[in-house]
Amino acid sequence: NLTMAQFGVDLIRKHQGNPQNFLTHCNAGALATGGFGTALGVIRAAYIDGLVERVYADETRPWLQGSRLTAWELSQDNVPVTLIADSAAAHLMKERGVSWVIVGADRIAANGDVINKIGTYQLAVNAMHHGVRFMVVAPSSTIDMASETGDEVELEERPGSELLEVGGRRVGAQVEVFNPVFDVTPADLVDAIVTEKGVIERPDAEKMALLMSRRRLH
């Protein structure tokens, strides 16, 4: 976690050394990783280095990991954090000058496609449109070289009750529900993948294979 955090901060500083705004999704902090955090570890380290003006955390529907976990972790560290609805992300990028979207990953395919919490893909699309850089932070154990692309990974879907109910009380209409848990962000929307082995900018299959062939930290 600490190695990834330093790599991530070095990458942020490479592009801009002033305090800036970040956006993150779901939870990739100490609660999820048992350490300093992956995506949130980079943000924590950036805050320590004086590179953070404000962190925006998506609420991350329907489980609300952003509002329940990420916002709590950041507030405990006194990092300036603002919670937003998932649907406010594009407007935020347009109006608030976000420099980086920084997320974790549940799996990364051999070509650099990223499988992560649902909503990550739309953040990457919005980030590219608004000129916001998109960073994925994950250990090399997350990289699945047996899956050539993200389309080969089966994505979990969960019960519709998660969207139709709040706190066990039904609030939605009696309709069919599509509730995928993960989505696939194509590699061409990713500016950088940060691992403990090193950093890949503009990932592709060749760069991913080279990274995974390394036996030592770089």
**pLDDT digit string (tens) for the chain, length 218 residues:** 999 999 999 999 999 889 999 999 999 999 998 789 999 999 999 999 999 999 999 999 999 999 999 999 999 999 999 999 999 999 999 999 999 999 999 999 999 999 999 999 999 999 999 999 999 999 999 999 999 999 999 999 999 999 999 888 999 999 999 999 999 999 999 999 999 999 999 999 999 999 999 765 44
What's residue 189's pLDDT? Answer: 98
What's residue 215's pLDDT? Answer: 63
Question: What is the CB neighbour count within 10 angstroms for residue 111?
Answer: 21
DSSP state of 157: B
- Residues marked active site are found at 106
Give the chain's radius of gyration (CA, Å). Answer: 17
Find out whether 115 and 109 touch, Cβ atoms under 8 Å: yes
C-alpha pair distances (Å), 39 with each of 13, 147, 148, 176: 16, 23, 24, 34
Beta strands 81-84; 98-103: pairing state: unpaired
What's residue 168's pLDDT? Answer: 85
Angstrom distance (rounded) from CA 87 to CA 91 = 8
Angstrom distance (rounded) from CA 212 to CA 114 = 16
> What's the sign of the alpha-carbon dihedral 42, 48, 49, 53?
positive
What's residue 17's pLDDT? Answer: 87
Angstrom distance (rounded) from CA 148 to CA 92 = 34
Angle (CA) 57-61-64 rounded to 5° is 60
Tell me the two tokens of residue 36: 């300093």
